[in-house]
Amino acid sequence: MSDLEQGGGAGLNGRAGARHDAFGAKGSGDTSGFGGLVAPARVLSSSERPFGDEHADAIYDALERAFAGLDEAIELVVVDRGELTLHVRRERLLDVARTLRDDPALRFELLSSLSGADYPDDPSGRRLHSVAHLLSLTHRRRIRVEVSVSVEDPTMPSLTPVWPTADWHERETYDFFGIVYEGHHALTRIMMPDDWIGHPQRKDYPLGGIPVDYKGAQVPPPEKRRSYS
Protein backbone atom coordinates (compact mmCIF):
# COMPACT_ATOMS: atom_id res chain seq x y z
CA MET A 1 0.00 0.00 0.00
CA SER A 2 1.49 3.36 -0.97
CA ASP A 3 1.41 6.34 1.32
CA LEU A 4 0.09 8.49 -1.51
CA GLU A 5 -2.15 11.31 -0.41
CA GLN A 6 -4.33 13.03 -2.95
CA GLY A 7 -7.32 15.32 -3.03
CA GLY A 8 -10.86 14.36 -3.95
CA GLY A 9 -12.74 11.11 -4.17
CA ALA A 10 -14.66 9.32 -1.49
CA GLY A 11 -13.58 8.90 2.10
CA LEU A 12 -11.73 12.11 2.84
CA ASN A 13 -9.52 12.40 5.88
CA GLY A 14 -7.64 15.52 6.90
CA ARG A 15 -7.69 19.00 5.36
CA ALA A 16 -5.30 21.10 3.32
CA GLY A 17 -5.60 24.27 1.29
CA ALA A 18 -8.89 25.83 0.21
CA ARG A 19 -11.55 24.95 -2.33
CA HIS A 20 -13.71 27.56 -4.07
CA ASP A 21 -17.21 26.35 -4.69
CA ALA A 22 -20.75 27.36 -5.63
CA PHE A 23 -23.18 29.78 -3.93
CA GLY A 24 -22.73 33.14 -2.30
CA ALA A 25 -21.95 35.27 -5.38
CA LYS A 26 -22.40 39.01 -4.83
CA GLY A 27 -22.11 42.18 -6.82
CA SER A 28 -22.55 40.74 -10.31
CA GLY A 29 -25.21 39.63 -12.71
CA ASP A 30 -24.19 36.02 -12.23
CA THR A 31 -27.35 34.29 -11.00
CA SER A 32 -25.75 30.84 -11.06
CA GLY A 33 -24.55 31.28 -7.47
CA PHE A 34 -20.94 30.36 -8.29
CA GLY A 35 -17.93 32.07 -6.83
CA GLY A 36 -18.62 33.05 -3.24
CA LEU A 37 -18.01 30.06 -1.00
CA VAL A 38 -14.51 29.04 0.08
CA ALA A 39 -14.19 25.70 1.84
CA PRO A 40 -11.13 23.77 3.09
CA ALA A 41 -9.80 21.22 0.57
CA ARG A 42 -9.70 17.80 2.18
CA VAL A 43 -6.91 15.29 1.61
CA LEU A 44 -7.43 11.61 1.04
CA SER A 45 -5.46 9.07 3.05
CA SER A 46 -5.60 5.31 3.54
CA SER A 47 -7.72 3.86 6.34
CA GLU A 48 -5.96 1.74 8.92
CA ARG A 49 -6.70 -1.94 9.20
CA PRO A 50 -8.70 -3.51 10.61
CA PHE A 51 -11.25 -1.08 9.29
CA GLY A 52 -13.76 -1.71 12.05
CA ASP A 53 -16.50 -2.36 9.49
CA GLU A 54 -17.64 -5.96 9.09
CA HIS A 55 -18.34 -5.81 5.37
CA ALA A 56 -15.26 -3.75 4.46
CA ASP A 57 -12.95 -6.09 6.38
CA ALA A 58 -14.55 -9.18 4.79
CA ILE A 59 -14.33 -7.76 1.28
CA TYR A 60 -10.72 -6.69 1.54
CA ASP A 61 -9.62 -9.92 3.23
CA ALA A 62 -11.25 -11.93 0.43
CA LEU A 63 -9.62 -9.72 -2.21
CA GLU A 64 -6.19 -10.17 -0.62
CA ARG A 65 -6.60 -13.95 -0.70
CA ALA A 66 -7.76 -13.99 -4.32
CA PHE A 67 -5.46 -11.39 -5.88
CA ALA A 68 -1.70 -11.81 -5.84
CA GLY A 69 0.24 -8.57 -5.57
CA LEU A 70 -2.72 -6.54 -4.35
CA ASP A 71 -0.50 -3.93 -2.69
CA GLU A 72 0.97 -3.03 -6.09
CA ALA A 73 -2.46 -2.78 -7.70
CA ILE A 74 -4.22 -0.72 -5.02
CA GLU A 75 -3.01 2.80 -4.21
CA LEU A 76 -5.41 3.56 -1.37
CA VAL A 77 -8.12 1.76 0.57
CA VAL A 78 -10.59 4.13 2.20
CA VAL A 79 -13.45 3.25 4.54
CA ASP A 80 -15.61 6.24 5.33
CA ARG A 81 -19.13 6.28 6.72
CA GLY A 82 -19.51 2.57 6.15
CA GLU A 83 -18.42 2.73 2.50
CA LEU A 84 -15.35 1.01 1.05
CA THR A 85 -13.49 2.63 -1.84
CA LEU A 86 -10.56 1.00 -3.65
CA HIS A 87 -8.26 3.42 -5.48
CA VAL A 88 -6.83 1.20 -8.21
CA ARG A 89 -3.88 1.80 -10.52
CA ARG A 90 -5.25 2.01 -14.04
CA GLU A 91 -2.85 -0.58 -15.47
CA ARG A 92 -4.24 -3.18 -13.04
CA LEU A 93 -7.89 -2.14 -13.20
CA LEU A 94 -9.20 -5.00 -15.35
CA ASP A 95 -7.37 -7.63 -13.29
CA VAL A 96 -8.85 -6.28 -10.07
CA ALA A 97 -12.28 -5.93 -11.69
CA ARG A 98 -12.38 -9.53 -12.88
CA THR A 99 -11.38 -10.75 -9.43
CA LEU A 100 -14.12 -8.67 -7.82
CA ARG A 101 -16.65 -10.13 -10.24
CA ASP A 102 -15.57 -13.77 -10.37
CA ASP A 103 -14.21 -14.76 -6.96
CA PRO A 104 -16.89 -16.71 -5.01
CA ALA A 105 -16.19 -14.74 -1.83
CA LEU A 106 -16.68 -11.43 -3.64
CA ARG A 107 -19.12 -11.83 -6.53
CA PHE A 108 -19.67 -8.20 -7.49
CA GLU A 109 -21.86 -9.14 -10.43
CA LEU A 110 -23.35 -5.72 -11.17
CA LEU A 111 -21.87 -2.34 -12.04
CA SER A 112 -24.79 -0.15 -11.05
CA SER A 113 -23.27 3.18 -12.10
CA LEU A 114 -20.07 4.90 -13.14
CA SER A 115 -19.37 8.61 -12.88
CA GLY A 116 -16.58 11.15 -13.12
CA ALA A 117 -15.18 13.90 -10.94
CA ASP A 118 -12.65 16.68 -11.43
CA TYR A 119 -10.36 17.78 -8.60
CA PRO A 120 -8.08 20.52 -10.02
CA ASP A 121 -6.02 20.73 -6.83
CA ASP A 122 -5.29 17.01 -6.63
CA PRO A 123 -1.63 16.96 -5.49
CA SER A 124 -0.96 13.81 -7.50
CA GLY A 125 -1.55 15.77 -10.72
CA ARG A 126 -4.26 13.28 -11.72
CA ARG A 127 -7.30 15.48 -11.35
CA LEU A 128 -9.81 13.39 -13.34
CA HIS A 129 -11.39 10.55 -11.38
CA SER A 130 -13.57 7.72 -12.67
CA VAL A 131 -15.67 6.04 -9.98
CA ALA A 132 -17.47 2.72 -10.50
CA HIS A 133 -20.18 1.62 -8.05
CA LEU A 134 -20.41 -2.16 -7.73
CA LEU A 135 -23.05 -4.38 -6.15
CA SER A 136 -22.78 -8.00 -5.05
CA LEU A 137 -26.21 -9.54 -5.42
CA THR A 138 -24.88 -12.74 -3.88
CA HIS A 139 -23.51 -11.19 -0.68
CA ARG A 140 -25.61 -8.00 -0.63
CA ARG A 141 -22.62 -5.69 -0.43
CA ARG A 142 -21.53 -2.52 -2.20
CA ILE A 143 -18.10 -1.17 -3.07
CA ARG A 144 -16.57 1.69 -5.07
CA VAL A 145 -13.60 1.38 -7.43
CA GLU A 146 -11.88 4.64 -8.29
CA VAL A 147 -9.15 5.39 -10.84
CA SER A 148 -7.49 8.77 -11.37
CA VAL A 149 -5.83 10.08 -14.55
CA SER A 150 -4.30 13.35 -15.68
CA VAL A 151 -5.70 15.80 -18.21
CA GLU A 152 -2.55 15.29 -20.29
CA ASP A 153 -3.07 11.52 -20.39
CA PRO A 154 -6.78 10.90 -19.63
CA THR A 155 -6.83 7.26 -20.71
CA MET A 156 -7.85 4.19 -18.72
CA PRO A 157 -9.25 0.74 -19.58
CA SER A 158 -12.95 0.41 -20.27
CA LEU A 159 -14.88 -1.76 -17.84
CA THR A 160 -17.36 -2.87 -20.51
CA PRO A 161 -15.57 -6.21 -21.09
CA VAL A 162 -16.19 -7.03 -17.42
CA TRP A 163 -19.53 -5.28 -16.82
CA PRO A 164 -21.48 -4.37 -19.99
CA THR A 165 -23.59 -1.93 -17.95
CA ALA A 166 -20.60 0.44 -17.98
CA ASP A 167 -21.36 1.24 -21.63
CA TRP A 168 -23.49 4.41 -21.49
CA HIS A 169 -21.97 5.49 -18.16
CA GLU A 170 -18.49 5.60 -19.72
CA ARG A 171 -19.82 7.49 -22.71
CA GLU A 172 -21.36 10.12 -20.45
CA THR A 173 -18.17 10.43 -18.38
CA TYR A 174 -16.14 10.78 -21.58
CA ASP A 175 -18.59 13.40 -22.85
CA PHE A 176 -18.57 15.54 -19.71
CA PHE A 177 -15.06 14.96 -18.31
CA GLY A 178 -12.96 13.82 -21.26
CA ILE A 179 -11.82 10.53 -19.72
CA VAL A 180 -10.97 8.17 -22.58
CA TYR A 181 -11.98 4.56 -21.92
CA GLU A 182 -9.74 2.40 -24.09
CA GLY A 183 -11.44 -0.73 -25.36
CA HIS A 184 -14.93 0.75 -25.34
CA HIS A 185 -16.67 -0.35 -28.54
CA ALA A 186 -18.32 3.03 -29.30
CA LEU A 187 -16.92 5.84 -27.17
CA THR A 188 -18.89 8.76 -28.59
CA ARG A 189 -20.67 11.70 -26.99
CA ILE A 190 -24.03 10.85 -25.51
CA MET A 191 -25.39 14.20 -24.30
CA MET A 192 -23.54 16.95 -26.16
CA PRO A 193 -23.49 17.30 -29.98
CA ASP A 194 -20.79 15.29 -31.71
CA ASP A 195 -18.95 18.45 -32.78
CA TRP A 196 -19.00 20.03 -29.30
CA ILE A 197 -15.67 21.40 -28.15
CA GLY A 198 -14.60 20.69 -24.57
CA HIS A 199 -16.02 18.76 -21.64
CA PRO A 200 -18.66 20.74 -19.70
CA GLN A 201 -18.21 19.23 -16.24
CA ARG A 202 -14.52 19.95 -15.92
CA LYS A 203 -13.91 22.63 -13.33
CA ASP A 204 -12.04 24.85 -15.79
CA TYR A 205 -14.86 24.82 -18.31
CA PRO A 206 -16.42 28.29 -18.77
CA LEU A 207 -19.49 28.66 -16.57
CA GLY A 208 -22.17 29.54 -19.10
CA GLY A 209 -19.71 31.69 -20.98
CA ILE A 210 -20.15 29.90 -24.29
CA PRO A 211 -22.99 31.32 -26.40
CA VAL A 212 -25.36 28.52 -27.39
CA ASP A 213 -27.86 28.80 -30.23
CA TYR A 214 -31.28 27.40 -29.37
CA LYS A 215 -34.12 27.73 -31.87
CA GLY A 216 -32.93 31.08 -33.07
CA ALA A 217 -32.22 32.42 -29.56
CA GLN A 218 -28.95 32.58 -27.69
CA VAL A 219 -28.07 31.75 -24.08
CA PRO A 220 -25.84 34.59 -22.81
CA PRO A 221 -22.99 34.16 -20.34
CA PRO A 222 -23.93 34.55 -16.64
CA GLU A 223 -22.65 38.12 -16.23
CA LYS A 224 -25.06 39.26 -18.93
CA ARG A 225 -28.13 37.64 -17.48
CA ARG A 226 -30.55 39.46 -15.24
CA SER A 227 -29.74 39.72 -11.56
CA TYR A 228 -31.99 39.66 -8.54
CA SER A 229 -31.60 42.38 -5.93
Other CB atoms within 10 Å distance of the CB of residue 46: 19
CA distance 94 to 226: 49
Question: Domains (ranges, CATH) in the chain?
Answer: 6-224 (3.30.460.80)
Any residues with CB less than 8 A from the CB of 206 and at least 6 apart, and which?
221
Other CB atoms within 10 Å distance of the CB of residue 86: 24
Position 40 scores a pLDDT of 61
Averages of pLDDT over runs of 10 residues in the chain (229 residues) are 40 46 50 56 79 93 95 94 94 98 98 95 92 97 97 98 98 98 96 89 78 63 61
Position 3 scores a pLDDT of 38
Position 121 scores a pLDDT of 85
For residue 85, give the nearest of 118, 122, 130, 29 by alpha carbon: 130
Q: Do 27 and 1 meet the contact criterion of CB atoms below 8 Å apart? A: no
Position 10 scores a pLDDT of 43
